[in-house]
């Protein structure tokens, strides 16, 4: 510990009067004045703690709550109810269209040609399963709580009764079955390089969802967040094209399975998997952070197409789903102005359809990516200015109009080509169209101004840091890492999470939903199974973050709607096989799942702090 020289005499004097220790957390403690006593006693080997088991979610005993009209009534609000059909499977090695219905623009031949146009040279595997697997009971031997870590939270507070806690995943990263049962191609089939793992198989959740849901319920998980792929509902994407009946039936059954298991579903309408029609042109470019310049959202047909797709999904499922997310992390796919502007308008239209037309009583929102940008030196005005711009570009771009009914930030209008202000009429329509502010705050990042300043960067589209125009680092002003490092970009930064929640609540004035947060333990993929399962760094991450959420609620007055842990199983991280975010190990060969320690720890932590029903 480093002590200012001027304070040394005072500390010495105090220590002579009474021995005092200053801990690394800043607290002082006084040792006991009594001397220890020593004695002999009979010795025996005993268990240090009683064996405990995970407590499953109770099976519902009453009818499911409804949040909107059922399909027979909701479909009346569609101008033209879409036709439904089914298609077959596009299997690896298919080089010719065998279908004879070549005159049908949406027939089997046309559907197969969608996949032929993608040119999947490396599509060689379809996984172990080709039909839905029936669930089996989870053995009690898999549900024994692991040994506790020595240090843990010491809080004395509880989560609100309506706090939403659960786990999250996305279709592209867990389902597999990409060209089976009528699904159309998406951006994911073009995004990653030829040598990287693909999403063709992943966790095969498309066929194993019943068993996966039962495993989550057995652990005591109360909310399950997943996404529905646009291309599995509308393989041809655009309004007026037929709906895939197999896709509709699949998610209908999945939602019912979640409810019957005692959990509640949270549904995201698009999680990176833009349909192929929007990204098939040559101007598509993948970026190193798995985003996509010109990734589809800027397409002139996007808004009408997305709203049409959303209406179809909502008419089928809004009666049973309490929480909806329109877009997941749109900045990664729309960091040009046209794309962002389309997202803002499309989101608002879907919200108004749900609330004003269907009279939905659930919650609907949108969620963003943004590792909280903290100034490198909070006392340096230049760094503070860089942090403010950082938040404006990532969040204000969408947050100003959607949450506050306010204009796009000046930094956006003066930086992004083609940017133009919203009219007063647009602002009135778009404003206040989200019931919560969704955020995926995996970690924090240290922010400062680029060399030459923000203005020089903002005016130069070829500048390496354009358009954000902020230097992002992982070390603070004293050279320390901002937190304990993971396999990827995530550092354990719980105190910054609390600061971030405070910022979001007081800036955008809506309850905050932590839509994703998780930690890929360094080098976990190289460890033996028992060492992968005993994932203490991940437990530390989750418990620290949840503890700071409690402080945000009780000490800072922040309305935190809930938190969803990412992810419930090791999955496909967009071509990266080394970053394991899951709370279950996935054996990619056998498709077996194994609960990790962190899963038990975080569920036990939250459920112990929720009021009894």
Let me know if 329 is a catalytic residue.
yes
State whether residue 157 is helix, strand or coil: coil
State whether residue 90 is helix, strand or coil: coil
**CA-CA distance, 80 to 504, in Å (whole number)?**
40
Contact predicate 242/83, CB 8 Å: yes
**CA-CA distance, 451 to 449, in Å (whole number)?**
7
**CA-CA distance, 252 to 505, in Å (whole number)?**
34
* 85 half-sphere exposure, CB direction, 13 A CA radius: 16
> Which of the following is catalytic: 257, 329, 349, 524?
329
Tokens of 385: 């200015």
Could you give the angle at which helices 536-555 and 494-508 cross, rounded to 10 degrees? 40
**Which run of H or of E encompasses 72?**
helix 71-74
**CA-CA distance, 36 to 20, in Å (whole number)?**
18
Tokens of 441: 């705050």
The three state secondary structure string of 512-538 is EEEEEECCCCCCHHHCCHHHHHCCHHH
Could you give the angle at which helices 536-555 and 597-607 cross, rounded to 10 degrees? 20
Contact predicate 603/219, CB 8 Å: yes
Among 273, 400, 259, 380, CA closest to 333: 273
**CA-CA distance, 272 to 228, in Å (whole number)?**
11
**Which run of H or of E encompasses 22?**
strand 21-22
Tokens 């609540």 locate to 505
The three state secondary structure string of 376-412 is CCCCCHHHHHHHHHHHHHHHHHHHHHHHHCCCCCHHH
Tokens of 51: 């064996």
Alpha-carbon torsion, ordered 71, 76, 78, 81, to 10 deg: 80
Count of CB atoms within 10 A of residue 461's CB?
Answer: 11
**CA-CA distance, 213 to 595, in Å (whole number)?**
14
**CA-CA distance, 496 to 146, in Å (whole number)?**
29
State whether residue 593 is helix, strand or coil: strand
Contact predicate 216/142, CB 8 Å: no
**CA-CA distance, 351 to 363, in Å (whole number)?**
10
Q: Looking at the annotation, which residues are catalytic?
A: 329
């Amino acid at each position: 510990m480093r002590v200012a020289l001027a304070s040394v005499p005072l500390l010495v004097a105090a220590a002579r009067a009474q021995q005092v220790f200053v801990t690394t957390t800043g607290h002082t403690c006084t040792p006991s004045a009594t001397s220890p006593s020593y004695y002999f006693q009979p010795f025996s080997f005993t268990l240090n703690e009683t064996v405990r088991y995970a407590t499953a979610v109770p099976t519902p005993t009453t009818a499911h709550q409804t949040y909107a009209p059922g399909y027979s009534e909701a479909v009346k609000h569609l101008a033209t109810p879409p036709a439904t059909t089914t298609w077959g499977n596009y299997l690896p090695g298919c080089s010719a269209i065998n279908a004879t219905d070549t005159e049908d623009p949406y027939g089997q031949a046309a559907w197969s040609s969608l996949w032929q146009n993608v040119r999947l040279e490396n599509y060689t595997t379809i996984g172990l399963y080709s039909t839905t697997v029936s669930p089996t009971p989870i053995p009690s031997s898999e549900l024994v709580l692991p040994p506790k870590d020595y240090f843990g939270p010491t809080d004395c507070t509880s989560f609100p009764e309506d706090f939403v806690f659960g786990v999250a995943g996305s279709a592209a990263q867990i389902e597999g079955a990409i060209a089976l049962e009528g699904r159309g191609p998406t951006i994911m089939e073009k995004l990653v390089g030829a040598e990287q793992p693909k999403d063709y198989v992943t966790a095969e959740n498309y066929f194993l969802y019943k068993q996966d849901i039962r495993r989550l319920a057995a652990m005591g998980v109360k909310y399950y967040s997943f996404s529905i792929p646009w291309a599995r509902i509308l393989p041809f994407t655009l309004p007026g094209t037929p709906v895939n009946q197999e896709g509709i039936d699949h998610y209908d059954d999945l939602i019912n399975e979640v409810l019957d298991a005692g959990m509640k579903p949270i549904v995201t309408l698009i999680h990176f998997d833009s349909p192929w029609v929007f990204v098939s042109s040559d101007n598509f470019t993948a970026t190193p952070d798995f985003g996509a310049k010109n990734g589809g959202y800027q397409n002139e047909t996007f808004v009408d197409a997305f709203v049409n797709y959303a209406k179809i999904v909502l008419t089928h499922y809004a009666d049973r789903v309490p929480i909806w997310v329109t877009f997941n992390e749109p900045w990664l796919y729309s960091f040009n102005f046209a794309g962002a502007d389309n997202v803002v308008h499309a989101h608002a239209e879907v919200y108004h359809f749900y609330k004003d037309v269907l009279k939905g009583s659930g919650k609907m929102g949108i969620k963003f990516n943004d590792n909280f940008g903290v100034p490198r030196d909070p006392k340096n005005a230049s760094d503070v200015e860089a942090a403010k711009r950082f938040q404006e570009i990532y969040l204000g771009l969408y947050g100003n109009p959607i949450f506050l009914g306010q204009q796009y930030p000046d930094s956006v209008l003066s930086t992004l080509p083609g940017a133009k202000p919203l009219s007063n009429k647009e602002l009135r329509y778009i404003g206040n169209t989200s019931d919560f502010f969704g955020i995926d705050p995996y970690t924090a990042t240290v922010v400062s101004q680029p060399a030459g300043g923000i203005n020089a960067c903002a005016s130069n589209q070829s500048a390496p840091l354009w358009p954000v125009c902020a230097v992002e680092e992982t070390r603070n002003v004293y050279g320390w890492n901002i937190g304990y490092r993971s396999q990827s970009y995530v550092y354990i930064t719980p105190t910054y999470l609390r600061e971030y929640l405070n910022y979001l609540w007081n800036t955008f004035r809506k309850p905050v939903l932590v839509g994703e947060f998780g930690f890929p333990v360094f080098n976990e993929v190289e460890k033996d199974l028992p060492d992968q399962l005993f994932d203490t760094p991940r437990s530390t991450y989750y418990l620290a973050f949840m503890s700071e959420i409690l402080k945000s609620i009780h000490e800072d007055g922040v309305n935190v709607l809930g938190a969803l842990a990412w992810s419930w199983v090791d999955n496909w991280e967009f071509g990266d096989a080394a970053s394991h975010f899951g709370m279950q190990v996935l054996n990619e060969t056998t498709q077996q799942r194994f609960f990790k320690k962190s899963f038990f720890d975080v569920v036990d932590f939250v459920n112990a702090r929720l009021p009894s029903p």
